[in-house]
Amino acid sequence: MRVILAILWKDLVSEWRARERLMAMLVFSLLVVVTFHFALPAGTGREQIQANAGGLLWVAYVFAALLGLNRSFAQELENDALSGLALAPVDRGAVFVGKAVASFVLTSVVQAIVAFAFAIAFDLDWIGQAPRLAGIVALGTLGICSVGTLFAAMAVRTRFREVLLPILLLPALFPVLAGCVRATSEVLAGRAIPYDAVQLLIVVDGIYWVVSYLVFEYALDE
């Protein structure tokens, strides 16, 4: 727990002072929302928007998360701080959890702002669904941040890390996105949560966290 908290504290304090990741993620995902706003044909009905909102929202969320995960380890390259982490006499699984939780916190902040902006841009009323939506988004983000942190650590020492991370991560996110988009769409349409989608998310999250925790030991090696 000591290591997890130390990494979490370090990442959040660094980000609070630099605001590099947050700004990049926020600007990018808001641009996606604005683009969708102009891309939809005039006269598109609220029901149609509501039906597609889950998919549109997760496009913005996934690409924002990719940006954040890339930066999460890129900042460790400055002054070769990554070697400092690799030298620490700790369970590297704890380093993984600290980094993944920090990414989860930052991504969640961006997601909340983007959801608010999305609702305003498309004149949607999500207030009633907010707690259920937050739960589904949190489950999806946990999955993205677990395997995303592992792949970001593997990609960071390569020359093509900006390209390699999406290539590795996006195929692995298919089951997460399948569950998230479906559950989000149902909730936004005011229907009941599809529990099979939630079960899928819980199982995939569990597998991704356990596997990433175990494999991270080797991800920090040169």
Kindly tell me which residue out of 43, 79, 131, 160 binds another protein, with binding defined by CB under 8 A.
79
When asked if residue 214 is in the footprint of another protein (CB under 8 A), the reply is no
Asked whether position 157 contacts another protein by CB under 8 A, the answer is: no
Contact map string, positions 110 to 149, toward another protein, x by CB under 8 A: ----------------------------------------
Residues 90, 135 contacting (CB under 8 angstroms): no
222 binds another protein (CB under 8 A): yes
Q: Binding string to another protein for residues 44 to 73, with x set by CB under 8 A, is what?
A: ------------------------------
Q: Using CB under 8 A, which of 1, 39, 78, 171 touches another protein?
A: 78
The whole-angstrom separation of Cα 196 and Cα 211 is 22
Rg of the chain over Cα atoms, rounded to whole angstroms, equals 18
Residue 57 CB partners (closer than 8 Å, separation 6+)? 114, 115, 118, 184
Q: Exactly one of 35, 80, 116, 163 binds another protein (CB under 8 A); which one?
A: 80
Member of 22, 60, 69, 85 binding another protein (CB under 8 A)? 85
118: helix, strand or coil: helix
User: Does position 84 bind another protein by CB under 8 A?
Assistant: yes
How far apart are alpha carbons 100 and 219 in whole angstroms?
A: 14
Under rule CB under 8 A, residue 86 binds another protein: yes
Contacting residue, 91, 135, 194, 202, with another protein by CB under 8 A: 91
Burial annotation 70-100 (CB, 10 A radius, 16+ → b, else e): bbbbbbbeeeeebeebeeeeeebbbbbbbbb
Nearer to another protein, 59 or 215 (CB): 215
Q: Tell me if 155 sits within 8 A of 191, measured CB to CB.
A: no
Q: Which is nearer to another protein, 35 or 83 (CB)?
A: 83
Tell which one of 17, 38, 39, 43 touches another protein (CB under 8 A): 17
**How far separated are the first and last CA of the chain, in Å rounded?**
26
159 binds another protein (CB under 8 A): no
Report CA-CA distances (Å) from 77 to 66, 80, 151. 17, 5, 15
**Which residues contribute to the site for another protein (CB under 8 A)?**
2-3, 5-6, 9-10, 13-14, 17-18, 75, 78-81, 83-92, 221-222
